[in-house]
Amino acid sequence: MTKPSIPRLKTLIGEEQDIADIPDIVSWEKINSEEPIWYVMIRGSNGRMTITDARDITDPKRFLTQCFKQLNLIFPPVTPVIWANRLRDALPKMTEKQADEDTTRGGQFRELLETFLTNRMRGKVREDLLRGAPWEDEESRRRYFTMEALAKFLEREGMCKVKRNEIAAWIKALGGGPQNLTIKNKRKRCWWVPSDAVDEAPELAAPDLPEPVI
């Protein structure tokens, strides 16, 4: 079997590819959160790509697809080696910033947890935990609830595909954790957060109603 010549090898691996045929990242920004977002600008376009999957950056085929999908730019195939080198050269151009808390999954969880713990359906006595209502122990300054009830509430409010180990991690980050409580002579596994981990829902004054006309 005849071995390919050196020039042919270079062509096969893309070493002689015209630099203009390779996407040139002129600026990009990474928003750090549980699920990072990248905003990428390419030379030759005034548009900005929004990328939510890192593979759409590191995989040259997927990146070229995003260029066509979002910017209407078409590039010839790029080899993985050349693309890795291009990304390495572009890294100094990347800026990073932390996502605003209320735009992250953790921030969304905290907002929904506050609603869950302080809404009108909250319990008044410990036994209310058995029906899924949260309950505040004013002596210990802890708000108790069951994982099952909270997970169902989060799903109803649109926070889908949240895993219970994620919920547990967020609870612990607020200074809470699991605890077994005795309710009606039975042990019930509950979770808790400090009372001051959430803000109490403000009580709204009843609207003034006009006096009936007699």
pLDDT 10s digits, 49-100 = 999 999 999 999 999 999 999 999 999 999 999 999 999 999 999 999 887 7
Going by C-alpha positions, the residue among 144, 88, 90 that lies closest to residue 116 is 144
- Averaged pLDDT for residues 17-29: 84
Q: How far apart are CA 158 and CA 163, in angstroms?
A: 14
Answer with the one of 99, 132, 158 that is the final residue of a domain. 99
- Averaged pLDDT for residues 3-14: 47
Is 214 domain-assigned? no
| Three-state SS at 33 | coil
Do 150 and 166 share a structural domain?
yes
Do 107 and 91 share a structural domain?
no
Is 172 domain-assigned? yes
| Three-state SS at 137 | strand
Answer with the one of 99, 114, 134 that is the final residue of a domain. 99
Packed helices 105-118 and 164-173: angle between N→C axes, nearest 10 degrees? 80
CATH number at residue 141: 1.10.10
Do 72 and 35 share a structural domain?
yes
Give pLDDT, residue 15.
Answer: 53
User: Residue 40 is part of which domain span?
Assistant: 6-99
Q: How far is CA 210 from CA 184, 204, 205, 214, in A?
A: 48, 18, 15, 12
Tell me the pLDDT of the chain averaged across its residues. Answer: 85
Quick one: pLDDT band at residue 199, thresholds 50, 70, 90?
Answer: confident
Do 52 and 16 share a structural domain?
yes
- The number of distinct structural domains making up the chain is 2
Quick one: pLDDT band at residue 120, thresholds 50, 70, 90?
Answer: confident
Q: How far apart are CA 200 and CA 186, in angstroms?
A: 30
Do 58 and 37 share a structural domain?
yes
Do 181 and 111 share a structural domain?
yes
DSSP H or E run through 180: strand 177-183
- Averaged pLDDT for residues 176-202: 88
Do 78 and 115 share a structural domain?
no
Strand order across the beta sheet in which 177-183 lies: 135-137, 142-145, 186-194, 177-183
Give pLDDT, residue 85.
Answer: 94
Do 114 and 63 share a structural domain?
no
Answer with the one of 82, 99, 116 that is the final residue of a domain. 99
pLDDT over 60 at 29, yes or no: yes
Is 35 domain-assigned? yes
Least confident window among 33-37, 45-49, 102-106, 195-199: 102-106
